[in-house]
C-alpha cells in the first residue's frame, strides 16, 4: 500500500548520553508507523538510526534504507528494512534519500547528521527542492546550534527568511504533523496503533 507520506530522518549512528534521545527516536518511528507513513533513512542498525527504523517497523510502517556499499561491508546495514538499497557512494545515497522523501527531519546526532541536515536546508533555500525541513530539538540538544545560527543572522550572513525555512519543535508529536502538513500531505492514522 502506498504510504500517506515519506519522512527522511537524519540522526545519530550512536545513542548519545541522555535517555531522552533514544525515547525521541522511538517516538518518531512509532509516530511514522501509526500515521501510515514511510521512513527513509541511512539504512544503519546502530544508535538512534536503528531505534527509529525498528520502531517504525514495529508500528506497521515501511522503512526504506539507503546505504553505501562500504558501510554494508562493515556489517552496519539493517537487513530488516522493507526496502534496502545498496548504493555506490554517499552522493548516490543522499540523492536517493532526498528523492524518496516528502520532508526531512534531523534528530540529535553527530557530524553525519549535521552534514545531511545542512544539505537539505541549503538545497531548500536554493529551491533545488521545495520540501519542508525540521529540527527535533529533544531536551534542548540544538539550542546552541540555533543560537549560533541566530548570530549568523545578527552578523548578516543569514537572513530571517532562511531561518524561517527550518521548523523546530521539542516533541515529535508536535513537529512531525507540521512537516507533513507543510508538504501538502495528510496522515492516515492506524487506529490500532494510536
Chain CA centroid to CA 50, Å: 13
Nearer to ligand AMP, 15 or 188 (CB): 15
d(CA 175, CA 135): 8
Instruction: Tell me: does residue 10 bind ligand AMP (CB under 6 A).
Output: yes
User: For residues 183, 180, 123 and 154, what is the CA-based torsion angle, rounded to 10 degrees?
Assistant: 110
User: Among the candidate windows 43-51, 118-126, 146-154, 171-179, which touches ligand AMP by CB under 6 A?
Assistant: 43-51
Per the CB < 8 A criterion, the answer to whether 101 and 10 are in contact is: no
Per the CB < 8 A criterion, the answer to whether 167 and 157 are in contact is: no
Which residue has the CB atom at the shortest distance from ligand AMP? Answer: 112
Instruction: Tell me: does residue 102 bind ligand AMP (CB under 6 A).
Output: no
Residue 70 beta carbon to ligand AMP: minimum distance, rounded to whole angstroms: 10
Residue 110 beta carbon to ligand AMP: minimum distance, rounded to whole angstroms: 3
Instruction: Tell me: does residue 113 bind ligand AMP (CB under 6 A).
Output: yes
Supply 131's cell numbers: 520540501
Nearer to ligand AMP, 8 or 36 (CB): 8
Instruction: Tell me: does residue 42 bind ligand AMP (CB under 6 A).
Output: yes
Instruction: Tell me: does residue 46 bind ligand AMP (CB under 6 A).
Output: yes
User: Among the candidate windows 8-16, 136-144, 146-154, 163-171, which touches ligand AMP by CB under 6 A?
Assistant: 8-16
Instruction: Tell me: does residue 67 bind ligand AMP (CB under 6 A).
Output: yes
Residues at the site binding ligand AMP, with contacts judged by CB under 6 A: 10-14, 42-44, 46, 49, 67, 71, 76, 109-113, 116
Amino acid at each position: 500500500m502506498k504510504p500517506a507520506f515519506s519522512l527522511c530522518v537524519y540522526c545519530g549512528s550512536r545513542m548519545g548520553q541522555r535517555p531522552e534521545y533514544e525515547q525521541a527516536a522511538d517516538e518518531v518511528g512509532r509516530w511514522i508507523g501509526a500515521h501510515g507513513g514511510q521512513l527513509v533513512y541511512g539504512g544503519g542498525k546502530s544508535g538512534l538510526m536503528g531505534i527509529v527504523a525498528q520502531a517504525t517497523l514495529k508500528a506497521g510502517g515501511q522503512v526504506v534504507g539507503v546505504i553505501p556499499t562500504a558501510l554494508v561491508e562493515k556489517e552496519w546495514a539493517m537487513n530488516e528494512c522493507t526496502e534496502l538499497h545498496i548504493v555506490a557512494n554517499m552522493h548516490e545515497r543522499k540523492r536517493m534519500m532526498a528523492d524518496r522523501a516528502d520532508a526531512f527531519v534531523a534528530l540529535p546526532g553527530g557530524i553525519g547528521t549535521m552534514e545531511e541536515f545542512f544539505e537539505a536546508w541549503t538545497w531548500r533555500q536554493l529551491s533545488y527542492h521545495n520540501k519542508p525541513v525540521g529540527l527535533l530539538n529533544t531536551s534542548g540538544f540544538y539550542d546552541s546550534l540555533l543560537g549560533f545560527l541566530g548570530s549568523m543572522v545578527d552578523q548578516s550572513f543569514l537572513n530571517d527568511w532562511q531561518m524561517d525555512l527550518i521548523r523546530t519543535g521539542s516533541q515529535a508529536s508536535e513537529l512531525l504533523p507540521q512537516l507533513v502538513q507543510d508538504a501538502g500531505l495528510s496522515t492516515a492514522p492506524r487506529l490500532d496503533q494510536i
